[in-house]
Amino acid sequence: MKTWILWLSLWSVSGIAFSLWDCDSLAGADQGQSSTKTIMTLAASTPEFTRKGEGDVIELNDGRLMLVYMEFSGTGSDEAKTRFVSQESADRGKTWSGHRVIAQTEPGDMNVYSPNLIRSRDGGILLIFMRQHETSPPTSTHHAWKSTDEGRTFKPWSVFCKGTTYNVCNAVVKRMKSGRLLLPVTFTHETGPGYGGVVLLSDDDGLTWSEAKNRISLPMRGVMEPHVEQASDGRVLMIVRSQLGSIQMSESSDDGLTWTLPKSTGLKSPESCPELTRIPSTGDLLVVWNNSYDPKFFSHFGKRSPLTAAVSRDSGKTWQHLRDIETDPKRAFSNPGCRFLQDGTAILNYWTCEYLPNWAMQDVIDIRVAIIDTPWFYESTARPND
């Protein structure tokens, strides 16, 4: 049974925000329990901040959730001036409040971009991001800030990759079983068009970073927006955005030091950002992406709809349990970032916009949050190409 609830809530920054709740209640096929999926608009576009999106969430020690995301001013384009803001939830993501500014664009810079949140070994919180300086040539510097008071304040921790073409996505930093941090990034080729991918490694909780021994490349526009996760068999997998019509995946068997040539996962995909994470209670891998492909579409080789989840029970070799999270064909859903809470709930953030009549995407963008119980991901029996 599906229940739709449309409600109005006062937004702490400006005006009124609309929140759309989509609640699925079904029996968990593999888990033997009921499960739900709830979707809400965390922050809607406003005239002052046209675009809201690209965030990451962390569970605080007292059970509250903290989500840091970007607000874009002006046109809302990728080159617009931005700031990081946060909101918190005391009810597992159902409602959010306490809007506050975390970081601003520095004078002379283009913007501040791509928040990543992860626990440090000593229990603090690391906020990893980049400051983009200019587009031609594209240059940025990466930063790690640290909080020792559960996100109330952050102080500089390290600065790395100064003035490089490295570009990081939101919600991609991961900690391996060894304790090593992996941060996948893209870079601009010194000669020729397109992008390549490489993983940065840190064995001292983000104070210093080194580059993996090899980089990865793909044809056409290349490697974009890589995401990594460690499988239950110890291998580390990387999936990337590309123009090749399916999600491409590379593997590492040495904790991220070396990587194989990317190969297709068999999951069709437009040129859009996929998310890869591990389901803690089962050890299975979860991918969230746009399950579509149309090389004749207006842009990006297909619609960024639907937004779909799939599970791998064999460490990324095959995928099953395909299930749509969002399906509106008139909207784009992009840049998903997923973190699991201690109770097994998935908190998925992503941005969404309405397609224009000519099917171009626009920079009038809202950020949404999907709250999904783990059994929900297993309730479909669909496989790729079904």
> Tens digit of pLDDT for each residue in 97-156?
999 999 999 999 999 999 999 999 999 999 999 999 998 888 999 999 999 999 999 999
- What mean pLDDT comes out for the span 195-212? 98
261-273 pLDDT, tens digit each: 999 999 999 999 9
What percentage of the chain exceeds 90 in pLDDT? 87
Q: Does pLDDT of 18 surpass 70?
A: no
Reading phi first (left if > 0) and then psi (alpha if -120 to 50, else beta), residue 75 is in alpha
Domain that holds residue 148: 21-378
- What mean pLDDT comes out for the span 77-83? 96
Q: What angle do CA 232, 236, 239 make, to 5 degrees?
A: 115
Could you give the CA distance from residue 33 to residue 41 in angstroms, rounded to a whole number? Answer: 27
- The whole model's pTM is what? 0.92
35-44 pLDDT, tens digit each: 899 999 999 9
* Position 384 in a domain: no
Q: What is the CATH number of the domain that holds 218?
A: 2.120.10.10
* Position 211 in a domain: yes
Q: What is the pLDDT of residue 127?
A: 98
* Position 192 in a domain: yes
* Position 10 in a domain: no
153-174 pLDDT, tens digit each: 999 999 999 999 999 999 999 9
Q: CA quadruple 42, 48, 54, 55: dihedral positive or negative?
A: negative
* Position 6 in a domain: no
* Position 143 in a domain: yes
Among candidates 269, 276, 264, 327, which has minimal Cα distance to 301? Answer: 269
Cβ contact 29:89 at 8 Å: no
Cβ contact 355:331 at 8 Å: yes
* Mean pLDDT, the chain, integer: 92
Q: Does pLDDT of 252 surpass 90?
A: yes
Could you give the CA distance from residue 83 to residue 85 in angstroms, rounded to a whole number? Answer: 6
* Position 2 in a domain: no
Cβ contact 239:247 at 8 Å: yes
Cis peptide, bond prior to residue 306, ω within 30 of zero: yes
Could you give the CA distance from residue 215 to residue 198 in angstroms, rounded to a whole number? Answer: 5
Is residue 181 packed enough to be buried (19+ CB in 10 Å), middle (13-18) or exposed (0-12)? buried
Strands 16-27, 65-73: pairing kind: unpaired
Q: What is the pLDDT of residue 24?
A: 55
218-251 pLDDT, tens digit each: 999 999 999 999 999 999 999 999 999 999 999 9
281-297 pLDDT, tens digit each: 999 999 999 999 999 99
* Position 297 in a domain: yes
- State the total domains in the chain: 1
Q: What is the pLDDT of residue 338?
A: 98
